[in-house]
């Protein structure tokens, strides 16, 4: 073990077990993100001054949105992992696509699934799609933060080798110190982006649909792109185009570009 590296805190990935029933921290992160996001969204739709003449979802309708989002995030996240990261493997083992309890979820896939769920919700409630996007974008960093903490507990998606004083030796990452990139992502894509969007929501409001979604797209795209410089690329993918670009970077560029377009369009 490197002299300056920090031993990994051995936290059991299983939070609670009742006989054959096992509840993992990763599952709790998803559940916690959805429930806390639902609670925060309710507080935002109660603020009529933030919405102006724009029609907002009702507090009661957010119960339906919670269900839509849960399905969209899980289905989209799993399909994103299959298509973006491990398509050859799953083509050879199609039955494992449905074994979500074994791990493997893509944020970008989950985002696409959430967008489809928002479209169904907006259509069924007669609300502008961009307004629903704005509301979801404001609360989604909560789930990102909890999800990255769960990645750290699971000792997965760890960072590249380093000799910084806060390097961590992960149990399945070899006897070397690595960047705790999951915590970097939790701080940038989760906590910092949540604060930025909270300030933007209170200063800019929801009166120009698409503006807050644009802030999220720009913020997440840049935060994820920067974080990828510290995160170990997926072993079965590695660096793309024979250089320094990773799949996470490649998928984040269009997110930032669409965010910039939405922000400029709303203005």
- Using the predicted structure, report yes or no on whether residue 170 has a pLDDT greater than 80: yes
- Given a contact cutoff of 8 angstroms between Cβ atoms, the answer to whether 172 and 154 are in contact is no
DSSP 161-187: B---TT-EE-TTS-SS-B--HHHHHII
Collapse the DSSP code of 93 into the 3-class scheme (helix H, G, I; strand E, B; otherwise coil) and give the result.
Answer: coil
- Given a contact cutoff of 8 angstroms between Cβ atoms, the answer to whether 196 and 219 are in contact is yes
Q: What's the mean pLDDT in 86-109?
A: 73
- Given a contact cutoff of 8 angstroms between Cβ atoms, the answer to whether 95 and 117 are in contact is no
pLDDT tens for 210-251 read 999 999 999 999 999 999 999 998 777 778 877 788 888 998
Collapse the DSSP code of 10 into the 3-class scheme (helix H, G, I; strand E, B; otherwise coil) and give the result.
Answer: coil
Q: Which residues are paired to 161 by β-bridges? A: 178
What pLDDT is attached to residue 100?
63
What pLDDT is attached to residue 3?
52
Distance CA 229, CA 40 (A): 32
Give, as one character, the DSSP assignment of residue 177: -
What pLDDT is attached to residue 101?
57
Q: Which residues are paired to 17 by β-bridges? A: 22
Percent of the chain with pLDDT over 90: 61
pLDDT tens for 98-152 read 766 556 677 788 889 999 999 999 999 999 999 999 999 999 999 999 999 999 9
pLDDT band at 36 (very low <50, low <70, confident <90, very high): very high
CA distances, 220 to each of 75, 190, 251, 262 (Å) = 21, 9, 11, 14
Give, as one character, the DSSP assignment of residue 208: S
Residue listed under structure tokens 């669409």: 258
What pLDDT is attached to residue 267?
78
The answer to whether the predicted template modeling score (pTM) of the entire model surpasses 0.75 is yes
Give, as one character, the DSSP assignment of residue 53: T
Distance CA 262, CA 248 (A): 21
- Given a contact cutoff of 8 angstroms between Cβ atoms, the answer to whether 187 and 149 are in contact is no
For the chain, the domains span 6-266
Q: What's the mean pLDDT in 80-105?
A: 74
What pLDDT is attached to residue 179?
95
Q: Which residues are paired to 245 by β-bridges? A: 240
Sequence-ordered list of residues with C-beta below 8 angstroms from that of 263, at least 6 positions apart, any chain: 210, 211, 214, 215, 217, 218
């Amino acid at each position: 073990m490197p002299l300056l590296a920090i031993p990994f805190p051995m936290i059991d990935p299983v939070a609670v077990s009742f006989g054959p029933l096992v509840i993992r921290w990763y599952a709790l992160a998803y559940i916690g993100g959805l429930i806390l996001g639902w609670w925060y969204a309710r507080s935002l739709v109660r603020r009529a001054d933030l919405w102006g003449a724009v029609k907002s979802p009702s507090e009661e309708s957010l119960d339906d949105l919670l269900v839509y989002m849960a399905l969209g995030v899980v289905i989209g996240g799993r399909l994103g992992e299959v298509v973006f990261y491990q398509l050859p493997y799953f083509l050879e083992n199609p039955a494992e696509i449905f074994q979500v309890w074994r791990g493997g979820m893509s944020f970008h896939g989950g985002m696409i699934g959430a967008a489809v769920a928002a479209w169904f919700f907006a259509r069924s409630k007669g609300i502008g799609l961009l307004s629903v996007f704005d509301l979801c974008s404001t609360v989604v960093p909560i789930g990102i933060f909890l999800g990255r903490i769960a990645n750290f507990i699971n000792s997965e998606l760890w960072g590249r080798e380093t000799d910084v004083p806060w390097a961590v030796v992960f149990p399945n990452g070899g006897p070397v110190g690595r960047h705790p990139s999951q915590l970097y992502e939790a701080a940038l894509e989760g906590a910092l982006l949540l604060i930025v969007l909270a300030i933007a929501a209170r200063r800019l409001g929801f009166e120009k649909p698409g503006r807050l979604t644009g802030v999220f797209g720009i913020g997440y795209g840049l935060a994820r792109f920067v974080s990828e410089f510290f995160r170990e690329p997926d072993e079965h993918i590695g660096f793309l185009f024979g250089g320094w670009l990773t799949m996470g970077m490649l998928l984040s560029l269009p997110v930032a570009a669409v965010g910039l377009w939405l922000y400029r369009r709303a203005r």
